[in-house]
Amino acid sequence: MHLLLTALLSSAFLCLVLVRLRHLHGQLTADCEHGVQKVHVGQVPRVGGVGVLGGMVAAWLVLLGRGSSEAPLLGVLLLASLPAWGMGVAEDLSKRVGPGPRLGATMLAAALAAWFADAILPRVDIPGLDLLLAQQIVALPVTIFCVAGVAHAVNIIDGFNGLASMVTTLMLAAVGYVAFLVGDALVWNMALAGMGALLGFWFWNYPRGLLFLGDGGAYLAGFWFAEAAVLLVARNPEVSPWFGLLVAMYPVFETVFSIYRRRVLRRRSAGQPDALHLHSLIFRRIVRWAAGKTAARDLTRRNAATAPYLWGLAMATIIPAVLFWRSTAVLALFAGSFVLFYIWAYQRLVRFRTRELRPWRKSKPV
């Protein structure tokens, strides 16, 4: 646990520095409060990913100092993550990097991890497809697609204080637990380093939102989890490849559904932001209703009150994944059940109306 504590304290300290010195870098790093997806007040730095990366590097240095056999490969994975993290930070600073370059950077990061760390998905437990994955020319692009997809999925759910960072922490905890059970020291250390770094950031992000994860932090967190999940399956045949999918089912299906909603239902670009994510509906419908008339006007309190609903949703798939990490059939059943529940819940939220909501129907949208 020294690794987790080192990453946590290092990340928390770096994030503290970023928060305290925001008057020096705010013009470059602050996120404006105007925009279709914006639900915060004031100018908030969105470079929390710097602290997260710093926490992971500190954990790696501890392993290196101990002479751990996992340190070299962990260092390779940190280097591989830099394209995704760097392109995300570039967007955080410039606000001008489009979805295409960011996707390309996360795919490059996944390709580097596959090439230098042998992080390639060997199977998916689907007859026929596993025969194709036995060929590296097929397995490599599939792995790159999956890793990049998870990285972007974490970025998509990064809409409220404490949401993406805590969900990814819970996901890494699940992977770390199974890695501990099967004796995989590399993935166990990856999980500890990632959890500590994200918790150090989370302390400053939740509930007040003093610092945001930003694209750099979200891509790094998603990449780190995805690589840990791929390596866990690749290095341990007893672990079902559906384990990682079910653990990440909430952000992954949120992304798939968002693409479908934008491209098919609304005839718009999949990369165009909107305020119709599940977390946005919970914020505008459930949290506003639950807060009451007075508290509903407090944007910061409503923002902080949104994430726990989604933490619970994420745990609805993480818990069965941890319990049945060997059984593909059971994991697939839970994955299908989540898809049905998500669609049902989304439809209910879209149609959700109460008397308490009516006074705000004509107010300025938040």
pLDDT in tens, 266-293: 778 777 777 889 999 999 888 887 876 5
The per-residue pLDDT for 294 is: 55
Residue whose pair of structure tokens reads 């500190």 in the numeric block = 58
Give the residue numbers spanning the domain of 266: 2-353
Does residue 217 sit within a domain?
yes
pLDDT in tens, 152-169: 999 999 989 999 999 999
Does residue 360 sit within a domain?
no
Beta carbons within 8 Å of 148's beta carbon, 6+ residues apart: 103, 106, 107, 109, 110
- Phi, psi dihedrals of residue 305, rounded to the nearest 5°: -75, -10
The per-residue pLDDT for 357 is: 41
Q: Tell me how many domains the chain contains.
A: 1
Does residue 318 sit within a domain?
yes
Residue 302's alpha-carbon distances to 97, 160, 351, in angstroms, are 30, 10, 20
Residue 215, phi-psi category: left (phi > 0), alpha (psi -120 to 50), beta (remainder): alpha
Residue whose pair of structure tokens reads 């070299």 in the numeric block = 72
Does residue 244 sit within a domain?
yes
Beta carbons within 8 Å of 92's beta carbon, 6+ residues apart: 29, 46, 47, 49, 214, 215, 216
- Phi, psi dihedrals of residue 84, rounded to the nearest 5°: -65, -45
The per-residue pLDDT for 305 is: 92
Does residue 304 sit within a domain?
yes
Residue 184's alpha-carbon distances to 34, 36, 169, 238, in angstroms, are 45, 43, 19, 12
Does residue 363 sit within a domain?
no
The per-residue pLDDT for 93 is: 94
The per-residue pLDDT for 296 is: 53
The per-residue pLDDT for 361 is: 39
C-alpha span between 212 and 201 (Å, rounded):
9
Does residue 341 sit within a domain?
yes
Give yes or no for a contact between 295 and 306, defined as CB atoms under 8 angstroms apart: no
- Block means of pLDDT (10 residues each) for the chain, 366 residues, are 95 97 90 52 87 98 96 98 98 92 97 97 93 95 98 96 97 98 98 98 95 97 98 98 98 96 82 84 86 64 92 98 98 98 94 51 37
Does residue 359 sit within a domain?
no
